[in-house]
Amino acid sequence: MKLLIGATGIYTSFLYYGLLYEDVFNFRNKGGEKFKHVWFLQACECLMNVVVGVLGGGIGRGGWFGVSGVSQVVAKVLTSLSLSHGLSFPIATLAKSCKLLPVLLGSLLLGNARYTPRDYLQILAIIIGTCIVSLGSKKSPSESSTIGVLCILGSLLLDGVTAGIQKRLKGEMGKRGVKMGGFSMMMWTNVWMGVVCMGVGGLLGELGTGWEFVRGEKEVLEKIVKFSLCSALGQSFVFYTISNFDPLLLSTITTTRKILSVIMSIFLKGHSLSSMGWLGIALSCGGVLSELTCKFGKGSKKV
């Protein structure tokens, strides 16, 4: 039941989040200028997450989440930068679906985790499937800029670092008898993320320029508010899930969400996919379903 609650909340919130995310970076003002204020966008997202975390009862000491908050916010900003530098949303989203590998490596190296051969095979199926989808895209390769690709690779690397830190953090908190609920984890992680956003965004001048861009554009401002709210609701379920399950399972859930986001983007935003691309989606979904079946099986045996 806990897994069902967490997964349903993540899917519902982040599917709409993905559509809004693409809309924000596709938006052009009357002068033809695109939205590129990634630190401003991330600051808005963090602020909404902190507010929802506080309303949900977030308490406790937050020093535990400083390092993971920094690595997580930089990973998210790099994803936004990849979109602002011309990487198409479906390709960026599919690339992020391959985060299962750096998450697994991060958990092994930094979190002292252990996984079975089946876990490795499932991850391999998902990664191969997403690569096939990328190769099967009918979009022009010119859409994927070199800077955008480098940004998404950096984001994947930091996803692995974040997962390993969270795995170790959870273990250390357990050893010391520190108990913290999902809303507290969410609040303090986003507090640290927000500190980084305000600092870097302020130094770069993006907070001011971002506000100047959106304050006269009601359409994009409304999308950013909805985007931030979806993020806050989705992260509530993310931290609920990660406080009850392994980070690898959370990555599996978010990966299926990304695949569904790609499908929705293809149908709703005018992207196209070849038959090979659909085969890749089927392979990825097979690996994800195998992972979920394995987790359900382990839960049944424990009961």
User: How does pLDDT run across 144-167, given as a tens digit for each residue?
Assistant: 567 888 898 889 888 878 877 877
pLDDT of 135 reads: 64
Return the structure tokens found at 76: 């998210």
Q: What is the pLDDT of residues 100-144, one digit of tens each?
A: 677 677 667 665 667 777 777 877 777 777 677 666 655 544 445
CA-based torsion, 273, 275, 278, 283: positive or negative: negative
For residue 138, with 0-12 CB atoms within 10 Å meaning exposed, 13-18 middle and 19 or more buried, which class applies?
A: exposed
pLDDT of the chain, 303 residues: tens digit per residue:
888 898 999 999 999 999 999 999 989 888 888 898 999 999 999 999 888 888 877 666 666 677 888 888 999 999 999 888 877 787 787 777 666 677 677 667 665 667 777 777 877 777 777 677 666 655 544 445 678 888 988 898 888 788 778 777 777 777 777 776 667 778 888 889 999 999 999 999 999 999 999 988 889 999 999 999 999 999 888 878 877 887 677 777 877 787 788 788 878 877 666 777 778 777 777 776 676 666 555 544 443
Up-side HSE of residue 250: CA atoms within 13 Å toward CB? 24
The string of DSSP codes covering the chain is -HHHHHHHHHHHHHHHHHHHHHHHHH-B-TT-PBP--HHHHHHHHHHHHHHHHHHTT--S--GGGHHHHHHHHHHHHHHHHHHHTT--HHHHHHHHHTTHHHHHHHHHHHH-----HHHHHHHHHHHHHHHHHHHTB-S-GGGS-HHHHHHHHHHHHHHHHHHHHHHHHHHHHHHTT----HHHHHHHHHHHHHHHHHHHHHHHTHHHHHHHHHHT-HHHHHHHHHHHHHHHHHHHHHHHHHTTS-HHHHHHHHHHHHHHHHHHHHHHS---B-HHHHHHHHHHHHHHHHHHHHHHHHHHHH-
Determine contact, residues 131/75, Cβ cutoff 8 Å: no
Q: How many CB atoms lie under 10 A from the CB of residue 202?
A: 13
φ/ψ (deg, to 5) at 57:
100, 25
What span, in angstroms and rounded, lies between the C-alpha atoms of 198 and 192? 10
pLDDT of 1 reads: 87
Return the structure tokens found at 190: 């986003």
Return the structure tokens found at 74: 């930089």
Q: At what angle do helices 206-215 and 218-242 cross, to 10 degrees?
A: 120
What span, in angstroms and rounded, lies between the C-alpha atoms of 143 and 151? 14
pLDDT of 229 reads: 95
